């Protein structure tokens, strides 16, 4: 069995490969059983194609650790992958896939609201699918915004609404409990990836924006139970990325689009399988 640490995951799964893996994660050939909390660990099982797997992550604040284990069709373990790194990469990749489908082809300015653990991969994934020339970073902690902007060649915004007003693509990844920007700040044709607000009590996107936008989610049941932005706006999820990929739904042109993600296990399975396959080809990781 192959074990991949954080550095192995990033070397094996660059943004383009991770986005390709998300196309499998959001195919119709998958199973996403309900996640289970046992003690302080969240267990998230799933299946994509012939591979099954489970992610186990800590729910203790300030302890972002976990693992993803995947198995072949006969139940043989294929490998074990660092869960925190894989989560950041696959979360960014899902936003990259949504951006590829929903954002304007000429989108060139991105606003990143939040500068925490998920922000770097959000930016890299969007850059992989759109010609981003200007990156604007906002965080409630200016020092963290500055550090991320320096790392990625961006600029720091002091006001979230001003950052949104200038952007063609907006990504939000914060633990906010009230909207990050004013509803009037967002322009027609803007695409939003909202990956924070993963509990019913959390909110990043103004309710007026959610109600007027074309909203896409990762999974209907998960979004109904956990997507705080939708809960606060009273919006029932109806369209998934799988629907768009399969051609069952066509996104409208010209309006605001929102991809609301709470994260699902098929993403972890697909990303882990892709990382393990690439790692074996490249001689990465540790065999046990």
State both tokens at 250: 């066509």
How confident is the prediction for the chain on average, in pLDDT? 97
Q: What is the pLDDT of residue 283?
A: 97
Residues 187 and 200: their CA atoms lie apart, in Å, by 26
What's the rounded mean pLDDT across residues 163-176? Answer: 97
Residues 87 and 90: their CA atoms lie apart, in Å, by 5
Sign of CA dihedral 126, 208, 165, 199: negative
Q: Is the pLDDT of residue 72 over 90?
A: yes
Q: Is the pLDDT of residue 118 over 90?
A: yes
Task: Report pLDDT digits (tens) over 21-53.
Answer: 999 999 999 999 989 999 999 999 999 999 999
Q: What is the pLDDT of residue 266?
A: 97
pLDDT band (50, 70, 90) for residue 75: very high
Q: What's this model's pTM, rounded to 2 decimal places?
A: 0.96
Q: What is the pLDDT of residue 193?
A: 98
Q: What is the pLDDT of residue 62?
A: 84
Task: Report pLDDT digits (tens) over 7-28.
Answer: 999 999 999 999 999 999 999 9
Alpha helices (runs of H) in 130-227, residue ranges in sequence order: 142-152, 160-165, 207-212, 220-226
Residues in the chain: 288
Which structural domains are found in the chain, ordered by start?
A: 2-87+265-287 (3.30.1780.10), 102-260 (3.40.50.720)
pLDDT band (50, 70, 90) for residue 195: very high
User: Which residues have CB under 8 Å from 239's CB, separation 6+?
Assistant: 214, 215, 216, 217, 249
Task: Report pLDDT digits (tens) over 125-148.
Answer: 999 999 999 999 999 999 999 999
């Amino acid at each position: 069995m192959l074990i991949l640490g954080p550095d192995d995951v990033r070397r094996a799964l660059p943004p383009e490969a991770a986005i390709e893996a998300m196309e499998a994660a959001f195919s119709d050939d998958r199973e996403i059983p309900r996640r289970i909390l046992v003690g302080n660990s969240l267990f998230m099982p799933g299946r994509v194609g012939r591979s099954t797997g489970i992610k186990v992550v800590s729910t203790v604040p300030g302890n972002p650790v976990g693992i993803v284990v995947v198995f072949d069709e006969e139940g043989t373990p294929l490998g074990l992958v660092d869960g925190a790194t894989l989560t950041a990469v696959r979360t960014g990749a899902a936003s990259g896939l949504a951006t590829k489908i929903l954002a304007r082809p000429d989108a060139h300015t991105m606003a990143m609201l939040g500068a925490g653990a998920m922000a770097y991969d959000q930016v890299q994934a969007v850059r992989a699918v759109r010609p981003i020339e200007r990156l604007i970073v906002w965080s409630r902690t200016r020092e963290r915004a500055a550090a991320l902007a320096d790392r990625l060649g961006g600029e720091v915004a002091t006001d979230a609404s001003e950052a949104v007003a200038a952007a063609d693509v907006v990504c939000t990844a914060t633990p906010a409990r009230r909207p990050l920007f004013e509803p009037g700040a967002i322009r027609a044709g803007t695409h939003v990836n909202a990956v924070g607000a993963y509990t019913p009590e959390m909110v990043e996107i103004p309710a007026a924006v959610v109600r007027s936008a074309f909203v896409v989610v990762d999974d209907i049941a998960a979004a109904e139970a956990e997507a705080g932005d939708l809960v606060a706006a009273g919006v029932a999820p109806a369209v998934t990325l799988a629907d768009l990929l399969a051609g069952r739904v066509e996104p409208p042109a010209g309006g605001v689009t929102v991809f609301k993600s709470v994260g699902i296990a098929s993403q972890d399975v697909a990303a882990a399988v892709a990382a393990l396959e690439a790692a074996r080809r490249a001689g990465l990781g540790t065999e046990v």
